[in-house]
């Protein structure tokens, strides 16, 4: 009788889960359990309709471990015509969960709820909804947050406010026409990690010279199960396959060059991706860096459309280029001076523990691996 009851209850739990979780929400629910990430949040049984993925080149988050999942609505494809900018079908959901010191801290969720081509409205997304859920002490539930939460569960980790999601996930790639008017009237927020170069099949791509500087969080992340480009292609989930089948990397260059380009793309390009910096800064980092902060003009996103290493936007906008804002009063310094990292504003700001530290928000501790890449790469530029 007991066994029978138990079986019965398991079935009823499953049915109620399926009924409650159709992924059809168009506002973020107040509890994480209602976003359908877990079939059973207490036992942490994941929803089998999701796929786990881990970017080949993880973002530095002061050593926190991140796990990520995606839900793609059945039957829909990701439009990959432009290899650098994937367009996701309405209904796509992403989750990213942060843990530190063995504790779950927060789970971030973004969902595509519309596909309107309306002009961009400052401060709000037309098509994507964003939010982060803070975990409770016994990890039985996580609750949607509006405001920043410092020292989450007693750790050094800060949960960002809802508004600051947009600082990094904001619009990308403004272009102006000959009259200096926006060429693209359709601009929207976007996911950042689910990209072609992040989903290639190689198990790791870290140059030997910096291997010992890798924080354990990196090694854990890339060893997680992952949805890959090959799997997406085999399941016919991408509209355009380019030449991605079985590629180990889509980034040009040798191992150090690839890793450095990827590092800039992952850690810096969500802010440094536009050629129209004034507008870019005002919109992307509302309030914080408005006004004088403009005119940076560095583009640090990797271009996987076949652009050779020397022509990658990061090379063109960094190497032997004077800063446009930093130390402007003294005529600027080099962003990257080939062969000399100490004379490079990029290195100084990356290693700074003061107000001018880069990245501007998100991470505060200097990443030893990133520093190693930057130093070796800048030195190698002096060898040609
Ligand atoms: C400091 C910049 C920054 C801020 C602030 C930020 N994100 Fe992200 N986020 C990123 C980057 C970069 C990635 C891709 C790399 C990765 O996943 O590690 C990412 C990835 C994600 C993902 C996985 C899907 C994807 O985009 O690839 C989710 C979900 C997400 N962020 C949600 C949020 C939410 C919700 C907020 C606000 C509470 C937020 N993020 C704030 C930079 C940021
Ligand atoms: C959250 C947004 C954000 C992120 C992420 C970010 N930056 Fe910046 N960065 C800015 C802003 C805003 C400025 C202009 C204001 C200033 O100089 O502080 C800037 C300026 C700079 C400058 C000076 C450029 C010039 O020409 O004056 C350098 C160099 C720089 N960043 C490097 C980096 C590097 C390297 C990374 C990644 C490791 C990074 N930044 C990540 C927002 C960001």
pLDDT of residue 22: 81
Is 266 touching ligand 1 by the criterion CB < 6 Å?
Answer: yes
Collect the ranges in the chain with pLDDT lower than 70: 1-20, 117-126, 170-189, 203, 274-295, 329, 384
If one counts the domains in the chain, the total is 2
Query: Which of 160, 180, 198 is where one domain is finished?
Result: 198
pLDDT of residue 124: 54
Structure tokens at 77: 């494809």
Q: Are residues 349 and 260 in the same domain?
A: yes
Is 167 touching ligand 1 by the criterion CB < 6 Å?
Answer: yes
Task: Report which DSSP code applies to 31.
Answer: B
Q: Is residue 11 part of a domain?
A: no
Query: Smallest Cα–Cα separation from 126: which of 115, 137, 138, 141?
Result: 115
Query: Smallest Cα–Cα separation from 259: which of 361, 174, 173, 367?
Result: 367
Q: Are residues 169 and 264 in the same domain?
A: no
- Among the residues of 22-139, which ranges form H helices? none
Owning domain of residue 305: 250-381
Q: Is residue 357 part of a domain?
A: yes
Query: Which of 183, 198, 213 is where one domain is finished?
Result: 198
Cα 350 from chain centre = 19
pLDDT of residue 5: 44
Taking the chain, what is the end-to-end CA distance rounded to the nearest angstrom? Answer: 79
Indicate the top mutation candidate among 279, 282, 360 to test ligand 2's pocket, ranked by most ligand atoms within 8 A of CB: 360
pLDDT in tens, 308-355: 999 999 999 999 999 887 877 677 799 999 999 999 999 999 999 988
Number of helices followed by number of strands (H, E) in the chain: 9, 8
Q: Are residues 137 and 66 in the same domain?
A: yes
Ligand nearest to the CA of 160: 1
pLDDT of residue 212: 95
Q: Are residues 57 and 190 in the same domain?
A: yes
pLDDT in tens, 154-206: 999 999 998 788 777 766 544 555 554 545 444 566 788 999 999 998 767 89
CB 61 within 8 A of CB 98: yes
Rounded to the nearest angstrom, the distance between the alpha carbon of 190 and the centre of ligand 1 is 9
Rounded to the nearest angstrom, the distance between the alpha carbon of 358 and the centre of ligand 2 is 6
Q: Are residues 45 and 188 in the same domain?
A: yes
């Amino acid at each position: 009788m007991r066994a029978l009851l138990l079986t019965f209850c398991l079935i009823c739990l499953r049915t109620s889960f399926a009924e409650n979780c159709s992924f059809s929400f168009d506002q973020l629910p107040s509890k994480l359990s209602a976003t359908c990430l877990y079939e059973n949040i207490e036992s942490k049984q994941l929803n089998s309709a999701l796929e786990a993925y881990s970017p080949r080149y993880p973002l530095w988050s002061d050593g926190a471990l991140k796990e990520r999942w995606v839900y793609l609505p059945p039957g829909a494809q990701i439009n990959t015509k432009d290899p650098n900018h994937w367009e996701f079908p309405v209904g796509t959901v992403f989750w990213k969960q942060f843990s530190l010191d063995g504790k779950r801290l927060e789970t971030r969720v973004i969902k595509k709820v519309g596909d309107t081509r309306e002009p961009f409205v400052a401060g709000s997304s037309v098509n994507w909804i964003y939010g982060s859920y803070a975990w409770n002490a016994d990890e039985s539930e996580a609750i949607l947050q509006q405001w920043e939460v410092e020292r989450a569960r007693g750790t050094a980790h800060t949960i960002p406010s809802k508004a600051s999601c947009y600082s990094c996930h904001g619009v990308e790639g403004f272009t102006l026409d000959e009259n200096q008017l926006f060429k693209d009237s359709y601009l929207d927020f976007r996911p950042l990690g689910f990209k072609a170069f992040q989903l290639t099949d190689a198990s790791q791509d870290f140059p030997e010279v910096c291997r010992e500087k890798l924080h354990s969080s990196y090694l854990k992340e890339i060893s997680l199960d992952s949805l890959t480009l090959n799997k997406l292609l085999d399941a016919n989930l991408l509209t355009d396959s380019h030449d991605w089948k079985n590629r180990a990397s889509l980034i040009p260059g040798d191992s150090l060059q690839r890793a450095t380009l990827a590092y800039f793309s992952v850690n810096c390009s969500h802010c440094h991706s536009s050629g129209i910096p004034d507008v870019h800064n005002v919109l992307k980092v509302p309030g914080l860096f408005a006004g004088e902060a403009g005119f940076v003009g560095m583009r640090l996103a990797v271009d996987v459309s076949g652009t050779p290493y020397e022509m990658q936007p990061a090379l063109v906008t960094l190497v032997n280029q004077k800063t446009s804002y930093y130390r402007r009063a003294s005529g600027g310094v080099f962003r990257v001076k080939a062969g000399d990292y100490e004379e490079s504003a990029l290195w100084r700001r990356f290693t700074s523990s003061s107000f001018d530290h880069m990245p501007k928000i998100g991470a505060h501790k200097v990443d030893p691996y990133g520093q190693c890449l930057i130093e070796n790469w800048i030195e190698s530029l002096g060898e040609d």
